Structure 1
Amino acid sequence: MRKLWWWLPVVLVLSACRKDTVGSGPEAGTQEGETVARLEGEVTTDDGAAGPYPLTQAKLEAYVGYQRKMLEVYGSLMRSLQDMGPLMDAGTPQALEAARSGLKLIERKAQAETDARKAAGLSTDDVNRIAEIVTAVISQRQMGRTLQYEEELKKLEALQSRMPAEQQQELTPQVESMRRQVEAFQKLPEARREFGDANVDVVLTREADLTKNYQDMLKAFAGVRR
């Protein structure tokens, strides 16, 4: 029974997953096409043309509020799971009861997630689709800050400026490569290709709040590490 607690975060993650099912019958082909469109981050308009999910400012504002509420839920859940760790590690007769309590916590988390989503006026599909766009944008911006490419580029350019002309030319490819990296983190070309300029620009209007939520969520999940 030792180390039984470790699987609870795994169940937690899986409990947040959603799976679209494709039915059988004449409409199955249409449903399958809609599922593929969702997975590719696109919607089909009335005229049959495919386009990115339309993220509006109102939906993003609702999603930011939903995120903050879920951070409270996850924070409380992770603290409870962490408190169970010593008991379950000990292999005591109470370990099985602690495991049952963990499952009840996860059930309450699922209900809290549903309540928060409904309070925000978002559907499950809205939450999943917005999360996909937000994650693509914010994770890239966060990575750029973490790697400090802008600072490194400035140092490299300063070094190049002090070199003789011949050595400056030798360093030029490296400088240009780093400039492209910095530009990619700033302008997010991949996210724009996948989700559209309008969606990326909407997300960037709340970059500071979404980045804080992103960091706080990582901290919440880090609370279960041993």
Structure 2
Amino acid sequence: MRKALWVLAGALALSGCKKDGAAGSEAPGVEDAGAAGLDALEATEVGAAYVVTPEKLTAYVAYQRRMLEVYGSQVKGLQGLGVLVDAGTPEAMAEVRAGLKVVEAKAKAEAEARASAGLSVADINGLAQVVTAVIGQRQLGRTLQYEDELRKLEELQQKLPPEQREELAAQVASMRRQVESFQKLTDVRREYGDANVDVVLTREDELMKNYQEMLRVFTGTRR
């Protein structure tokens, strides 16, 4: 039972504006995007080009910071629910119902954060797609440490006899292409365009910090 509850809680916590916006007024405290907003959202979902501007990116960074606080509070509010469900007493279940109100509060806080940032549901989803692609690729490159691995492989190649160097050349060339792809974000640029990627990279440090802090929130390691 506890596992099922946490799966549900995690899914609710990670649900983004896309779901809230589509739900409209049916979800407590969620702004109704209206027909125009839903049309824009649908366009974003099917891969229509979204233009990232410095102004919208600045607003999105502020939105992220606000939502970090919301998600942090939500995770804390759900932490004890598994024990309460296991207890099964009427008092415990009453506390469970009270704890689940944080999910409703999240929807309201999300709408308020969007309004404060001056961004629409379509803006949030469009920005999130590009930012996640860019920052996720950067983070993956750091995690895999391809540059260090390439350096070690090149050093090894130089120590080998000429015939063995040639045998290793294809592997070195392949890894060099991978490193270049991560550094230049080749695939991301192909999908979202150079202009969008370049704008996101102007705020890379802040966006990376938010990305890493969000991971800490959901792994329970945020202080």
TM-score for both structures, normalised by structure 1: 0.83
User: Residues 86, 213 of structure 1: CA spacing in aligned structure 2 closer, same or farther, 3 A cutoff?
Assistant: same
Q: Does 1:83 align with 2:80?
A: yes
Residue number in structure 1 paired with 2:47: 41
Q: Which consecutive unaligned segments of at least 5 residues does structure 1 have? A: 22-30, 43-51
- SS of structure 2 residue aligned to 1:41: coil
> Which amino acid letter does the alignment assign opposite residue 116 of structure 1?
A
CA RMSD of aligned residues (A): 2.4
Which deviates more, 84-93 or 70-79? Answer: 84-93
For residues 155-194 of structure 1, what are the structure 2 equivalents within 5 Å?
155-194=152-191
Q: Is the counterpart of residue 54 in structure 1 residue 31 in structure 2?
A: no
Runs of 4+ in 1 over 4 A off after TM superposition: 1-4, 31-36
CA drift at 1:12: 3.0
Deviation at 1:102, TM superposition (A): 3.0
Is the contact between residue 13 and residue 71 of structure 2 (CA under 8 Å) also seen in structure 1?
A: no
Distance 1:190 1:15, change over 3 A: closer
Q: How does 1:143-162 map to 2 (within 5 A)?
A: 143-162=140-159
Structure 1 contact 2–91 (Cα < 8 Å) conserved: no
Within 2, Cα distance between the matches of 1:33 and 1:111? 22
Deviation at 1:161, TM superposition (A): 0.8
Q: Which runs of 5+ in 2 are unaligned?
A: 24-36
Offset at residue 218 of structure 1 (A): 1.2
Deviation of 1:53 after TM superposition, in Å, equals: 1.1
Aligned counterparts of 1:147 and 1:184: Cα–Cα separation in 2: 13
How far apart are residue 36 of structure 1 and its match?
6.1
Identity %: 56
- With over 3 angstroms needed to count, the CA separation of the structure-2 counterparts of 1:16 and 1:38, relative to structure 1, is closer
1:108 and 2:101 are equivalent in the alignment: no
2:116 corresponds in structure 1 to 119
Equivalent position amino acid for 2:215 in 1: L
Query: Are the aligned partners of 1:77 and 1:105 in contact in 2 as well (CA < 8 Å)?
Result: yes
| TM-score normalised by length of structure 2 | 0.84
Cα gap change, 1:211 to 1:32, in 2 (>3 Å): closer
Paired position in structure 2 for 1:8: 9
Post-superposition shift, 1:104? 1.1
Deviation per CA, 1:147-186: give whole Å up to 9, x if none: 0000000000011011111110000011011111111111
Q: What amino acid sits opposite 2:13 in the alignment?
A: L
Letter in 2 for 1:96: M
Q: Please give the per-residue CA displacement for 1:7-47, whole angstroms capped at 9, x wherever unaligned.
A: 222233347442759xxxxxxxxx999766422432xxxxx
- CA–CA distance in structure 2, aligned partners of residues 160 and 214 of structure 1: 36
CA distance in 2, matches of 1:13, 1:100: 20
Bigger shift: 215-224 or 174-183?
215-224
- Greater helix share, structure number: 2
Q: Tell me the alpha carbon deviations over residues 77-113 of structure 1, each in whole angstroms, 9 at most, x when there is no partner.
A: 1011113332223223233323322331111111111
Structure 2 counterpart SS, 1:94: helix
Asked if structure 1 preserves the Cα contact closer than 8 Å seen for 2:67 and 2:113, the reply is: yes
Could you say what secondary structure the match of 1:53 adopts?
coil
